Amino acid sequence: MKTFVSIMKKSPKTIITDQDLWMTQSIAIEMPTTKHSFCIWHITSKFNCWFTALLRNDYKNWCANFYHLYKMSVPEEFEQN
């Protein structure tokens, strides 16, 4: 992170990464003003191993509901659902 900031001459406003713990900690320390978000692809790719056992037969329905909410484009649409 130090090298990145040194080369770029400033921290980015936002950075999107996978859920790597070391990357998360490094960004918090080296770029405290940068908004750090996790990549939705990395999150959703782990749904199966995270939720299948927990939700069992409801897993597919839960995924459908999640993607329905995820694809909403405005807060009002989310609030109505």
Supply the pLDDT for residue 21.
Answer: 93
Write down the pTM of the prediction. Answer: 0.66
For residues 31-44, average pLDDT: 94
pLDDT at 14 exceeding the cut of 90: yes
For residues 43-62, average pLDDT: 93
Confidence of residue 69 (pLDDT cuts 50, 70, 90): confident
Element (H, E) at 41: helix 40-44
Best CA proximity match to 61, nearest among 73, 51, 76, 71 = 51
Confidence of residue 38 (pLDDT cuts 50, 70, 90): very high
Neighbouring residues of 2: CB distance < 8 A, sequence distance ≥ 6: 30
